[in-house]
Amino acid sequence: MNIQWFPGHMNKTRRLLSENLKMVDVVVEILDARIPVSSKNPEIDNITKNKPKIIVLNKCDLADKEISESWKKWYNSKGYTSIFVNSIDGTGIKQLKNKMRDLLKERIERDRQRGRIFRPVKAMIVGIPNVGKSSLINKIAGRGSAATGDKPGVTRGKQWINVSNEIQLLDTPGILWPKFEDRRVGINLAITGAIKDEILDIVELASNLFEILSESYPEHIIKRYKLDSIENKTGFEILEEAGKNRGCIASGGEIDMMRISAIVLDEFRSAKIGKISLEKPEDIKEV
């Protein structure tokens, strides 16, 4: 699957991040807990430079809990400040707020001793499209402060949100990078919805997903789609069988591949297939 995705507004977002960096105290980079490597834009580290950073792994409720524990240990071993969050039910939000304050504790105390008027911690929220930035901000703020949606590209410009007298958040549009050097990265991003389905071949994408799951979570798809066997079958063949079992039949008795593909992608993204992680720490050399 060839995916090239770098529309003009992504260039504008890159400039926006660079221009506003001097205004913030800490960067909160949001990753998808199911794909921590693929959802990490390599350009963000270059843009945010030496600013203190917190890595938030959102959508942890959709990820494989055992693999998430492995990621937590991996981040700790590398010295990263990382927090697993569910921006829907609020898991990890209190911990995130405390961590933002902790990172700036010395500066706050220094300002207090110098008699300077207290100002809130300013945090820039960054991440790829559809990773949950706006939903996270709304949960932190406790109100509908930022525009949200289940499609990438909802946030169009920067937004300052006052969380309290202690914290201000700068929401920014999602930013992808010019080219995916690793084919699997592009597939992972597409599967999880970071790239609009409208520009993709969803039958090929659903087939790719079944190829991956047949190796890592075979029991999940066998149970969900009532499959007899997936041994020695391609992802497309598994998709065909799933379509037949789900009654996705078009006129003439042909299997409606578009319909079953849309169903499979939706059920993966909503964890109806199961809590699944597509990346493990041992699969990569570095982040």
Q: Is 115 exposed, middle or buried (0-12, 13-18, 19+ CB in 10 A)?
A: exposed
CB distance 191 to 213 below 8 Å: no
Of 228, 231, 261, 230, whose CA–CA distance to 243 is shortest?
A: 261
Determine if residue 87 is labeled as part of a ligand binding site: yes
Determine if residue 174 is labeled as part of a ligand binding site: yes
Q: Which amino acid is at 175?
A: I
Determine if residue 248 is labeled as part of a ligand binding site: no
Determine if residue 132 is labeled as part of a ligand binding site: yes
Determine if residue 115 is labeled as part of a ligand binding site: no
Determine if residue 131 is labeled as part of a ligand binding site: yes
Determine if residue 111 is labeled as part of a ligand binding site: no
Q: In what order do the strands lie in the sheet with 26-32?
A: 82-84, 53-58, 26-32, 121-127, 167-171, 159-162
Determine if residue 86 is labeled as part of a ligand binding site: yes
Determine if residue 153 is labeled as part of a ligand binding site: no
Determine if residue 130 is labeled as part of a ligand binding site: yes
Determine if residue 287 is labeled as part of a ligand binding site: no
Binding residues: 58-61, 86-87, 130-135, 174
Query: Per the annotation, where are the binding residues for GTP?
Result: 58-61, 86-87, 130-135, 174
